[in-house]
Each structure stands twice: as structure tokens, then as C-alpha cells.
Structure 1
Amino acid sequence: MTLPACEYLQLEQRDHALFVTFNRPEVRNALSLAMVQELMSVLEAASTDTTLRAIILRGSGGHFCAGGDIRDMANARARLGKDDSDPFYALNRCFGQLLEMAEQAPQMIVCVLEGTVMGGGFGLACISDVALAHSEARFALPETSLGIPPAQIAPFVVKRIGLTQARRLALLGESLCGDEAARLGITHSVYSSTASLEEALANTLSRIKRCAPKANAITKQLMLAVGKTDLGVLLDDAARAFSDAIQGEEGVEGTTAFMQKRKPTWAAERESEA
């Protein structure tokens, strides 16, 4: 995989995982438009790499992400009226496109949540397949206190934790700790130290490598289609996907390995590398 050159993201591929670190610590990794576009380029490049099984999103300087960059909004205001375009619409919609792309990524998206997890950072946590948080992380949707709605984020928050809790968080702009975020289902687990958080990440990556990458990608597609596709059609599609998979390379290897009481090749690689 050829990764794009990035100014605001640090990229490092380790074995089957791509580590993407937001690198604007001076603004608690606030998402500028340029940063969003860089992340979309990375996701696009990764989408066709069948050897890549996980994308890890985290922030530098002890914070995950403080949300959108207010300076981008000021720049958009300066462009108002110069032509027929709506710079605020374009700015906001671009972040929604990022959330859609990240949610649909064939790889597992793992978020490591520390420090500030607000606005757009909150939205990224809500599209992750696995979210690991430090107990002292602070989660919030502060948009309404700024006079704006969490427009692109709100649908993903509702899908993650349900309408009742999403309304409370968005309409009050309340701040949550890591433990409360886990109770609501924003994050899956919480750790009281950086060391235990890093250990949990390593364990998660080990677990991911035990699962067949194509099977994981198909499973994500099926689950994300729930509620969007008629159930009968969805189950027909699922049956076809199952048939294709069990007759394919992964299915043959996985079922053969089970009968032979050995690990399949994608899992055995992990042990040989250890």
C-alpha cells in the first residue's frame, strides 16, 4: 500500500495494523479541513489493501480530538458571498463524508481515546468497531453551547447509543468521563492507566489477527445494512455471502483447520512472528 503524504497525521504500519495519529497537539488535535481530507485519503488508500486488518486512530499530546477547528469556520465566513457556493455547507458535509467512509472501511477501526474526545472526535469514537478509553478521558458534544448543531455527528451518535441518551448529551452539552462513556456504549472498555490501555490495544490487535480479514469485512457490511435493507433481502444477501465465503480461500482454510485441529494460516502467522 502506498500511503499519501500527510502534514497533520503521523502514519505507521505495524504488521497488519495502520496506526494513524492526529498530530496537532497545540490545538488538542482539532480537525481542520486539511486534516479531514488527509484522513479520507488515507482511508481510501487503505480500502484496497487486503493485508491490512486494522486502522488505529489516536491523538498526540495526550488528547484524542477536540472537534472541528474553529479557524476553518472563520475562513468559511470570510468566503461567504464571493460566489454562489455555501462554504459552511461544504465544510460541514466533508466531515460527514469522513464519518461515512470510516464507518464503511473494510478494516476494523480501533479508537484509542484519551484526554479530550469532543465534537468530531466524539463522532469518530461512535463509528469505531472497537473503542478503548482512558478513565480520565472527557467526552462531550459542546456544539449547541456554540450556537450550532452537531449536524454530521448526531446520526452516528444516535446509532451508537440510542435516541434518548443522544438527545440528552447533545441538547445539554454535558461532559462525560470514560466510565460513563462506557456505560452508555460510546466506548467498549475503560482503563485507569496508560500502561493498561496500551496492553488492551495490543490484546485487541492480537484478537483481530485471529479473525479472517475478508470474513470480518463481510460481517461489517451485513451488520451496517441492518435497518437500511428489507430483512428478507438482507438475509438473501447474507446467505449468498456465506456461500461465497465458505467456498472461498478463507472458508476452505478455516473449516479445514478446524477439522485438523490447527490454527488457520491468518492466525498461525501471529504466533510465528511472536
Structure 2
Amino acid sequence: MKQIQWDLAILSHEGIARDTFRLKLAAPMLEEMPKPGTFFNLTVPDQRFLLKRPISVFAVDHARKEISFIYKIMGEGTKALSDLRAGDTIRVIGPLGNGFPIQDDAHKVLLIGGGVGVPPLYELGCRLKEAGKEVITVLGFRDQSSVFCEAEFRSLGQTVICTDDGSYGFHGLVTQAIEEHGIEFDVLYACGPRLMLKAVDLKYRDHKTGYLSFEERMACGIGACYGCMTETREGLKRVCKDGPVFRLGEAVYHD
């Protein structure tokens, strides 16, 4: 799908968990579906904020020409974004980045998400299920008030919810939940905090195939400013342009 800029109408904008919002936009320009794992740069409706906010695609309804995003208030910029209402318009640029590849030879697929890394996995799960894959999902949140979209992921297949404080679901880390539930899989896809991705990567890189989507602070979002570099075995790469999705075992981590 060609990258371009649009002013899109907001169809709905609602809180779905603590400080977490779902934004649905009319997208009449959709000629093809953005690849799961790609993102759009959204303009904050306040002249104090020059930089756009990169937000991953949550879901795409191609028949209705609608696209949805889920984001968490992380600062003043996303707080200003949350003040928009249905009927307003917002300027977006995208799709940006390289998304998740669909591996044809995989039969059982594991999705691993943490916090605001959960949203891009849903559209991916929908595409995987449409392709006839068995989809298993393990999602980690801080506490019960932070959990969102559980029903949507359960519609795709077996889903395990984890919380750090044990207030809901499995008490512990996503890697612990995978072991406790005896989950087997052919390919994994993960998105979430760097510490979670590191744990997943180091645990499975030597004997599994998988892909990790990295969260990173971005400036331009198009690879021009080199402000979101990450170290890989092949050298420094731009998360916004070369990623945000990297192969399992590709990233280099430092304590």
C-alpha cells in the first residue's frame, strides 16, 4: 500500500481500559489492507506538539473502509489526542514500516503481547486465522484495570491473560505462562516492552522461528532522521524504516 497523507474522519473514540483508547477512522482511501505490524503517524491536534505519534494498526475493515488504532496515554501529546471526538478529523501518514510476514508453512502460531504492544497482534491474528492457522495468544498486562480486547483475541483461539500483580488471570510473566500451560507452537510473533522481547528472544532464538516488533521513540517515522536506531547482528538499523518487525535472534541486547 502506497504511503501518503490523509485527513480522516473519526467514527468513534472510546476508552477501553485505564488510560487506553480505541480510535476508529473512516478510511475511504484503502485500496488494499495495510500489512499487520505496520503503523501510521497521527498528528496531535495541538500546535505545542510538532512530532507526530506513531501508532500501530489494530484492525482493518476493508469492506467498510475503516481502520482502528489502540493507544495508551503516555504523555501530554497522547493526552491531547484522547480529547478528539467522533466527527472530528485527524491527519495521518502511512502505512509506515515493515510488518509481520505470514509464514505459510506454520500450522500453530503463538502471539505474545505486552501492554501497548498488544494491539498490532490482533490484525495479525485475524489474517493468520483466515489463512487456516491455529492461533494461540498470551498477553501480559500490569493489572486487571489495564486489560483490554480479551474477547477479540479469544475469538481467534486459545488465549491466556497474565497480570504482574495477579489481580486477573495468570500471575506472572508471559514466558512463565507459556511454560505453565505447556503451549507448543511452530512460529511466534511478539510485540511489547524491550525487556519482554529480550526474554522471549533469548528463550526461543536457538530453536524456534519468530518475529519481534520493537517499540521505540520516533521522530520522523520515515527513516530520515536516524533517531530510532537499534543494534542488530547486521549493524545498526532504523526501527521505523527497517522495522519495527525484526527476526527472532536478530537484535542485540545490553544489560
Question: Normalising by the residue count of structure 2, what TM-score does the alignment of the two structures yield?
Answer: 0.29
Q: Which has the higher strand share?
A: 2
| More contact order relative to length (CA 8 Å, sep ≥ 6) | 2
* Larger radius of gyration between Structure 1 and Structure 2: 1
Q: Which has the higher helix share?
A: 1
